[in-house]
Amino acid sequence: MADADHPQLYLITPPEFDLSEFPAGLHKVLDAVDIACIRLSLATRDEDRILRAADAVREVAHARDIALVIDTHIVLAQRLGLDGVHLTDGSRNVRAARKELGPDAIVGASCGGSRHDGMSAGEAGADYVSFGPIAGETLGDGTLAEFDLFEWWSQVIEVPVVAEGGLTPDLIARFAPVTDFFGIGEEIWSTDDPAAALARLAAAMG
């Protein structure tokens, strides 16, 4: 169930980054605020690039005892010794991922704004469900995850929930009582000082 006082932060990497610079920037961000989990969310399909990025981010994450999951790539999660996988197609592959990665791996699922898909993912063995975007017309397919969905979920469902997409300090303050995690990515990476931007968003959690 969501703890009204203590939502945690879940950091999503940029879709592209410079391997020679990003690890240092990531260190700085992790110095600013406590992070519960990092999600490697790359746009590229180039396996070599994904492998090198995963190695670099894993080194930073595991040095700080922070779990690292990767978008979509169940096989790579296993091969690279990551903590699990984040599935971007809702509940469809949750059962297969759990079977492949075992009971101790993290399996999460993005479910857009669909209560039904979220419940299906939870029943299939997801460790958490992500809903979003919660704001912003240009994100996703235009579907927004409404406050009422999180409010209902926090009252009825025990599977932890992540709110992500279009987050602002005002939205974080509003959603903090009804979510377990805030998934923060582009909101900070598009700024000149990601660490300061993350600190501002974290402060809004209260």
Q: What does the pLDDT look like over 43-94, one tens digit per residue?
A: 999 999 999 999 999 999 999 999 999 999 999 999 999 999 999 999 999 9
Question: What does the block give as tokens for 133?
Answer: 């975007």
List, as own/partner pairs, every contact residues 22-27 make where C-beta atoms lie below 8 angstroms and the sequence separation is at least 24, other chains included. Answer: 22/56, 22/57, 23/56, 23/57, 23/59, 23/60, 25/194, 26/57, 26/60, 27/60
Domains and CATH numbers, the chain: 8-178+187-192 (3.20.20.70)
pLDDT for the residue numbered 139: 63
Tell me what the mean pLDDT of segment 183-195 comes to.
97
Please state, in angstroms and rounded to a whole number, the distance separating the CA atoms of residues 153 and 107: 18
Whether the pLDDT of residue 2 is over 60: the answer is no
Where do the DSSP E strands lie in the chain?
A: 8-12, 37-40, 67-71, 84-87, 106-110, 128-131, 161-164, 181-184
**Mean pLDDT score across all residues of the chain:** 94
Question: What does the block give as tokens for 97?
Answer: 């991922």
Cα–Cα–Cα angle for 159, 72, 106, rounded to 5 degrees: 35
- Least Cα distance to 111 among 185, 163, 36 occurs for 163
How do residues 171-188 score in pLDDT, each as one tens digit?
999 999 999 999 999 999
